[in-house]
Amino acid sequence: MDAFYASVESLDDPSLRGSPVIVGGLGPRGVVAAASYEARAFGVHSAMPMSQARRRCPRAACLRPRMERYRKKSAEVFQIFRSFTPLVEGLSLDEAFLDVTASLRLFGGSREIAAEIKERIQAETGLTASVGLAHNKFLAKLASDAQKPDGLVEVEPGRVHAFLDPMPIARLWGIGRRTEPKLKALGILTIGQLRRADGSVLQPVLGKRSEHFQRLAQGDDDRDVVPGRPDKSISHEVTFDTDRSARAELLAELQRQTEAVARRLRARRLLARTVTVKIRDHRFRTITRSRSLRACSDNTNTLYRMARALFERWRESHRNTPVRLLGMGVSGLEDAEKSAYEQGNRLDSSSEQSLDRVADDINRRFGDDALTHAQTLRRKD
């Protein structure tokens, strides 16, 4: 998907269309999560400090992320994907690999399928997508990035070297900030140069990975599309604009995070076995505390009680310690429909489950925070 978060914001607010839009944290420690192409023209990119992004593009509309909204739009897009093939491997909310080999007889050629997917995404969601078409995942990913936004690029088997050779070596998966300068020092600047390089030259720099990188430079990638990878965990965290030490404020934030995580569990019909709390203090020391529940749960109160207990245990020895980051997550996830816990061996009372369902319905209708615990109102934005 093209500039997904920013595109959703422009879709929901037509006054933003054609203008620079930046999505991310708005405080002094905020980081850019996504930028529209209009903002990118000013040099704004994801992971950039928001303060720097604002200096580069002072006229941009800077917005906080609305993750539940993005997840909803993502689900609409993935539903379109699965109408063409069950072999859909999601990488994130806005990116996926599709294997359409078995769908060719039903829908026509691969290029026709790619074009139809793009058309349906535009018609049914109002968003644009860039599609890369190739015989393996590595090439398809690079092709999808080659003509953004709203592009469709096909890498035919006979054109692989012509496509890859001019690209900078940093486009190879795994060539990062440490490895790239070492290769450049050897005069290897492009994928084509790496492909043609002697293995004995690459070995001292890349070690055992030299063969792997040369295979990628050849355009070889034998990984299959793996659909439906189950979630291993669900988490939520926030870096505060300024350090927080007030217990009430921290607990309010923890409550808000637990509500968000529990909603995601219920939306995906999952139950969690383990609760984890993550705390980073003003000295950048990070502490994580985890504990398993007696039975799996998706109930907000059950998860919050455990998260709060973990937080309070940390606070006993760190009273008044300024907190820079606070996070809450769950793991040990099970399918709610298949889990035996769903048949009556759950910690949660039926009344708590009913309250969760009512809250979820209200928040779906009127926004994520339409109905929330009063404690979260203590949190300062």
Give residues with Cβ within 8 angstroms of 32, minimum separation 6.
Answer: 22, 23, 24, 44, 45, 46, 47, 48, 49, 50, 53
Peptide bond into 149 cis (omega under 30): yes
Q: Which residues pair with 23 in a beta bridge?
A: 34, 63
Amino acid making up residue 280? R
Pairwise CA distance, residues 152 & 131, whole Å: 5
Residue 292 three-state SS: strand
Catalytic residue (one of 76, 89, 95, 116):
95
200-225 burial, b at 16+ Cβ within 10 Å, e below that, comes to eebeebbeeebeebbebbebebeeeb
Domains identified in the chain and CATH numbers: 4-65 (3.40.1170.60), 73-157 (3.30.70.270), 160-210 (1.10.150.20), 233-378 (3.30.1490.100)
Beta-sheet strands, E only, within the chain: 21-24, 32-35, 61-63, 88-92, 95-98, 131-133, 152-154, 233-244, 270-281, 286-297, 323-331, 334-335
CB 278 within 8 A of CB 241: no
The pLDDT of residue 347: 52
Can 95 be counted among the known catalytic residues? Answer: yes
The pLDDT of residue 341: 36
Per-residue tens of pLDDT for the chain, all 381 residues: 999 999 999 999 999 999 999 999 998 889 999 999 999 999 999 999 999 999 999 999 999 999 889 999 999 999 999 999 999 999 889 999 999 999 998 998 999 999 999 999 999 999 999 999 999 999 999 999 999 999 999 999 999 999 999 999 999 988 988 899 999 999 999 999 999 999 999 999 999 899 999 999 999 999 999 997 667 899 999 999 999 999 999 999 999 999 999 999 998 889 999 999 999 999 999 999 999 999 999 999 999 999 999 999 999 999 899 999 999 999 999 887 665 434 444 555 555 555 566 665 655 555 555 555 555 555 444
CB 10 within 8 A of CB 50: no
pTM across the whole model: 0.74
